[in-house]
Amino acid sequence: MDIGNKIRAYREVRGLSQEELASKIYVSRQTISNWETGKQYPDIQNVLLLSVLFGVSVDELIKGDLEAMKAKLSDKKVNTAMSAYTWVMLIAAVLGTMSIGLVIYFEQSTLIILVPIICFAVMFISASQVERIKKRKNLRTYAEIVAFTDGQDVEEQRQKRDPAKNRLEKLMIVGGFAVVVCMIALVSVFIFVIFK
């Protein structure tokens, strides 16, 4: 973010060290360093103190960063939603798969079949929401998704796209998921058959 460069420039123009600036606005030297390197962003109170200390308007200090902050905040919300849908999908898949054994154990009950159906329906709805987010944010590879969820620059990963590798990666993920689901289903069936 640009504010880190502005803080450094204004600090150096006034001949202040990071430690001197930190003592004037009641923060640690490490905090100033984190602001200047873009690792952290000052809160509004510190932005106000910095603007008074440097004799510049708040607008001048944060100009250019406002849009970046809005985009990051929006991405954070999307990231949270994507993580929530992913967890719901995984939990529903595990519960649905484990409930297959229940269906076999309670074979006389026709209502018990609803348990895996509902679980798998929730799983597919969550998976479609994750796919919708991936499409909206143009996330195609696993590396792009990881970069996005970590709040890193996705563009760097987009430049590394390799269609053949991406297809192989997708096949491996789907295949691995299918193998795990089958194993859980077999264990569930085995456990419920033993107790029958």
Predicted pLDDT at 2: 77
Domains of the chain, by residue range, sit at 2-63, 72-194
The whole-angstrom separation of Cα 1 and Cα 159 is 22
Region of residue 138 (left: phi > 0; alpha: psi -120 to 50; beta: else): left
- HEC readout, 132-148: HHHHHCCCCCHHHHHHH
State the pLDDT at residue 141.
66
pLDDT in the model for residue 61: 78
pLDDT of residue 89: 94
Position 1 scores a pLDDT of 54
pTM for this entry: 0.55
Name residues of the chain where pLDDT drops below 50.
none
Structure tokens at 102: 């229940």
Q: Which CATH number fits domain 2-63: 2.60.40.10, 3.40.50.1820, 1.10.10.1100, 1.10.260.40?
A: 1.10.260.40
d(CA 4, CA 8): 6
Tokens 């089958």 -> residue: 182
Which own/partner pairs from 65-70 qualify as long-range (CB within 8 Å, at least 24 positions apart)? Answer: 65/1, 65/2, 65/3, 65/41, 68/1, 68/2, 69/1, 69/41
The pLDDT value recorded for residue 13 is: 92
pLDDT for 41 equals: 80
pLDDT value, residue 65: 62
